[in-house]
Amino acid sequence: MATKKPITKRGRPKSSETLERERMEALLKNPPTYIPPMTKKDKQWWNDFINNSEEAQHAILEGCSPLLPHSLIYDLESLGDESMHGVEKIILDKFATYKNKETTGRINGADETASQADVKAKRLWAKNSALVRRIQSGNLMLNSASKIIFDDWENKGIEGGRPSLKTISNWYKRIRPN
């Protein structure tokens, strides 16, 4: 006789916030018997409350960086409240840490983009060295050479999508700044 293997759910487990939300939804759908049924007025009040809560959440999160956790943003919005006395420094330190990480990430991203542009520029203009010689001798303008490469990208270009004329010109200026 074959034994049945227990069915396991795929994907990652639900977060505590999701479990709490589902519990509250189930409680509202099937309330206990000791709670009187909701009237239309009560349902309308709850719907308005939920809609206003969502609007408030969107208003609070609207101008903030997506890298900041929502709990930290809510804590920052609560800083003026008297119940937050004593923990303000902790919250501000946490915010400063996240801001430093964001700044460092942006700098690293810009450096990585620039280094990739340098590599592409060297490869593109090394492949088109005849055009480089014509530009240096003065027989061809940079914009004209860029246009030649742009128009015949399949033969004169490198892998990847075709960049704009301005990008091709800027790549030349990256490898030959003067």
Residue 136 domain-assigned (yes or no): yes
Where in the sequence is the domain holding 141, given as residue range(s)? 115-175
> Is residue 51 in a domain?
no
pLDDT in tens, the chain (178 residues): 567 777 777 889 999 999 999 999 998 888 888 888 888 998 899 899 999 999 999 998 888 888 889 989 888 888 877 777 788 889 899 999 999 999 999 999 999 999 999 999 999 999 999 999 999 998 999 999 999 999 999 998 898 889 999 999 999 999 887 6
Q: How many domains is the chain built from?
A: 1
Helices and strands (H, E) in the chain, number of each type: 8, 0
Structural domain includes residue 31: no
Residue 157 resides in a domain:
yes
Separation of alpha carbons 45 and 56, rounded Å = 16
Flag whether 91 is in a domain.
no
Q: Quick check: is 33 in a domain?
A: no
Residue at 146 is within a domain: yes
* Interacting residues of 138 by C-beta distance below 8 A, sequence separation 6+: none
